[in-house]
Amino acid sequence: MSEYEYQRDVEELERASATAARLFDIRRIIGGLFAVYGVIVTVAGITASDADLKKAQDININLWTGLGMLALGAFFLAWAWLRPVAPPAAPPPGQEPGAEDRRP
């Protein structure tokens, strides 16, 4: 394997690693789940009947909980967007694991 092919493979792996790190960032997963469930609970709160409100001492708990979940989901998604995960740094050439096997 030539040095050019090796460098191209390393760059390709770095791009794939950075994409996987961004895709599986736990802040995106948590933020997305809170946002989806927040919408569902907020809609349930908006459509609550008088009997449902009477059970909760006239406090629309679904509405308030849904709005709180939406706020928390927005916080996590904004955090992930404003402070993205840095891709892992590649080791210098010749110091990566298995480099001694590739030397002529």
- Tell me if 76 sits within 8 A of 31, measured CB to CB: yes
Tell me which H or E stretch contains 26: helix 26-46
Which residues are CB-neighbours of 7 under 8 A, at least 6 positions away?
none
What is d(CA 51, CA 37) in angstroms, rounded to the nearest whole number? 23
Overall pTM > 0.75: no
The tens digit of pLDDT for each residue in 24-74 reads 789 999 999 999 999 999 999 999 999 989 999 999 999 999 999 999 999
- Tell me if 4 sits within 8 A of 100, measured CB to CB: no
Over 90: is that where the pLDDT of 15 sits?
Answer: no
- The first and second tokens of residue 84, run together, are 């993205």
